[in-house]
Chains A and B, each alone.
Chain A
Amino acid sequence: MAMNVVVLVKQVPDTNAIKIERASGTVQPGGQHVISSYDQYAIEAAIRLKEAHGAEVTVLTLGPAGAKDALSRALAMGADKAIHLVTANPNASDTLAVAEAMAGHLRGLNPDIVLAGQGSDDYEGNQVGPQVAELLGLPVVSNVNGLEWAPVGQLTLTRDIEDGRQTVEVAPPVVLLAISGLNEPRYPSLKGIMAAKKKPTEQIATDVPVASERIAWSEPVAPEQTIAGVMVRDVPAAEAAKQLAGWLREQKLI
C-alpha cells in the first residue's frame, strides 16, 4: 500500500511585507498571506517521496477561511488532497490546543509520515511539531535538512545540531520537521493549478479553545533599540558612505 504522508501547513502573513508602526511599535501585517516558509520545504519533501516511491499526500491546515489559499497552493504543487480545519485565528490559541486539534484528525488518517515546518514564520514556537508527535505517541526528528527513503523501509535524515551535522535513521511512523536546505520548493505549474481545482478539500468547522488560564500573551511590539550605535538614515547613499568611511577611520578600523 502506498505510504500515507500528511503535511501540516500554516498560513502566515508575509513576514517580508509586515511593517512595524513606529509610534506604537506594533506589527501591521501588510501584503498577502503565504505558506509559512519551512512548511514549503515539508510539502516539497512529501511530493518528492510520492514521485520517487509512491505516496498519498494530504495537506492539513488549521486556520481561518482564507487559509484555503495555502491548501490550494499545496495541491497545485502536487499534494493529493486537503483538509481544512476552519477556525477564526489559530494564533489566539496555545500551541497545545492547536496541536490537539490537529492530532485529533491525524489519528483517523493513520499517517506513516507527518511532515511539518520546524517553526512558523510568525510565532516561531517550534512547538506544534513535537506536540503533535507526543500526542500521537510518535518519535520526532527536528531540523531535517536531508531526507532519503533508504535503507528499505526506513528514512535516513540529516539534521544540523550544535555538535555538527547528524545523520539518523528512523522507521515510520514518525514526525519530521523541515528546515531550509532540505530542498528547493517548486512553483506550482499551470497544469498543477488546473489539476488542483479538481482535488478534494474537506472543510471541518473546528472549535479551538483560546488562550487559557495557564498561558496568555501580549500583542507583539518592537523592543527598544538596545545598543546606542550610530544610525544613519534618510540620507543619500553617497553621504551615508562618506559618514561610514569617516567613522571607520575614527575607530582606526581602516
Chain B
Amino acid sequence: MAEPERHSGTVLAVAESDRGGALRPVSWEMVTAGRAVADAIGGPLVALLFGSGVGDAAGLLGAAGADRVLCADDPGLANANSEAASAVLVDAIAAVRPSVVLIPGTTLGRDYAPRVAARLRAGLAADAVALAVDGDALVATRPVFGGRVQTEVRLRGPGARLVTVHPGSFPAASPQDGVPQAIEGLTVALGDLETRVRVRDTVAAASGPVDLDRATIVVGGGRGLKEAGNFGLVEELATSLDGVVGATRAVTDAGWRPHHEQIGQTGRTVAPRLYVAVGVSGAIQHLVGIQGSDYIVAINRDPDAPIFKIASFGIVGDLFEVVPALIDELKP
C-alpha cells in the first residue's frame, strides 16, 4: 500500500443545512469547535457546506470565523444521503488536505463520517463532546455506556483524522463576528449515488397539544415506571404541581403514553421553569429536549444516571417510594 499522504495543519469543519437550506444550529458550533482546534495546531479553518440552494448560508460561515468556505451547491444534494455526502466530503478532503475533519454528529453526519473513514482508512472518533490537542494527537472525549462514562480517543497519523461532534457540545459562533467571506464552489460528480435511496416524504415531528410546549412545569416519566399503569403516579404528581405530563421515547415507543408527549431529539422541546424527571436515565437524546428548563429535578435510583449531571436537585431513591411521599408533602 502507498504511504498515506502527509496532511497540512488545516482543519475542515463541515456544516449542515436543514431541508429549507438554512443552517442547522450545530453548524455554528462546528465553527467554534473548528476554530479552537485550528488555533491549537496553528492552521487555517476551512468550512464546508453542501446542499441545494445553500450558497448564502455558506457565506455566513465565513462571517462566523472560518478562513475559507467551500460550498457544494447541487439540486442533487437537496436530500443528501450518506453516499452522496461521502462523495462530497472525500472531494473536499482531496482539495484542502486537512489534518482534522470535524463532522456534525447529526443523523446524516453519523451516516457518512464512518463511510468516509472506511474509504480513506482514517481514524474516526464518534460523538465527541470535547476536543483537545495533545502533542501530535487530537484527543476527543466521548460518552459510552449510555452516557454514564466517557473515554478519550486519541487520533494520530499523517492523514486526515475524523471526528463527529455531538450537537450542543460547543457554544455557537455568531456570523456577526467578522467580514462575510466569499465562497469557493466545489463540484461533485454524484452519478447515481443520490437515487439509490429515494426520499418519499418527510413529515415534521408530530405536534401535539400546545400545553407541553408552553407549560411552566413539566413532569417527565421514563422507563423506570415499569408499566403503563404506573403512569398514574406521574399524572398525580403533575396535578399536584399544577404541571403537565411528558415522557421519554422509551415510554412512547412502548405505547404507555401517546407519541406527542415524547420529549427530546425526535420529540418535542420543552422550556419550562421546572422539569421533574421521574425514572428517566437522561440519555443525550432526551436531554436536548429539556436543556432549556430553568430548573431540573431528577428522581432516579441509579446515582450514576446521567440525568443527575444536569439536575439542580436530585434524589437518589426508588421513585415508587419518593413520588408518593412527595405528593403527600405537596398537599396543601
Query: Interface on A for B, CB 8 Å cutoff?
Result: 15, 18, 20, 25-27, 94-96, 99, 121-131, 133-135, 139-143, 156, 159-171, 174, 180-181, 212-223, 225-227, 229-235, 237-238, 240-242, 244-245, 247-248, 251, 253-254
Contacts and interface: CB of A to CB of B under 8 A. Distances in A.
6 contacts: A26-B149, A161-B108, A161-B202, A180-B250, A216-B154, A229-B313
Contact of B145 (A143, A220, A230, A244): A220
A217 B151 contact: yes
Q: Which of A125, A133, A143, A235 has the most CB of B within 10 A?
A: A125
A221 B149 contact: yes
Contacts of A232: 313-317
Contacts of A135: 118
B322 A231 contact: no
Given A20-B304, A122-B145, A245 B18 contact: no
A221 B143 CA distance: 9
Contacts, number: 242
A162 to B, nearest CB: 6
Contacts of B107: 142-143, 159-162
Interface in B286-332: 295, 297, 303-304, 308-318, 321-322, 325-326, 328-330
A214 B266 contact: no
Nearest to B241: A254
Interface in B150-164: 150-157, 159, 161
B210 interface: no
A227 B325 contact: no
B266 A160 contact: yes
A226 to B, nearest CB: 6
B197 A168 contact: yes
Given A135-B118, A220-B150, A130 B82 contact: yes
Given A166-B199, A240-B317, A244-B326, 7 more contacts: A15-B146, A124-B144, A134-B119, A139-B197, A140-B111, A225-B309, A232-B316
B171 to A, nearest CB: 15
Nearest to B267: A160
Contacts of B266: 160-161
B24 interface: yes
A62 to B, nearest CB: 16
Given A134-B86, A253-B217, A94 B149 contact: no
A69 B161 CA distance: 36
A111 to B, nearest CB: 16
Contacts of B149: 20, 25-27, 220-223
B283 to A, nearest CB: 10
B232 to A, nearest CB: 18
Contacts of A129: 114
Top 8 closest pairs, chain A to chain B, by CB: A215-B123, A237-B321, A241-B325, A233-B316, A245-B329, A214-B123, A130-B114, A220-B149
B316 A213 contact: no
A15 B206 CA distance: 31
Nearest to B196: A139
B7 interface: no
A241 B326 contact: yes
Interface stretch (B44-52, B58-66, B69-77, B124-132): B124-132
Contacts of A99: 114, 118
A237 B197 contact: no
A231 B113 CA distance: 39
B144 A226 contact: no
B204 interface: yes
Nearest to A20: B304
B115 A130 contact: yes
A248 B241 CA distance: 10
B6 interface: no
Q: Which of A160, A226, A227, A241 has most chain B Cβ within 10 Å?
A: A241
B312 A241 contact: no
A181 B81 CA distance: 22
A166 B202 CA distance: 4
A237 B299 CA distance: 11
Nearest to A159: B107
Contacts of B82: 130, 133, 139-140, 142
B135 to A, nearest CB: 13
B197 A254 contact: no
B303 A233 contact: yes
A231 B311 CA distance: 9
B279 to A, nearest CB: 13
Nearest to B137: A216
Given A219-B151, A225-B308, A254-B330, A18 B24 contact: no
A186 to B, nearest CB: 15
Contacts of B315: 232-233, 240-241, 244
Contact of A244 (B201, B217, B313): B313
Interface in B240-295: 241-242, 249-250, 253, 265-266, 273-274, 295
Contacts of A216: 153-154, 156
A234 B110 CA distance: 40
A220 B83 CA distance: 32
A219 B196 CA distance: 40
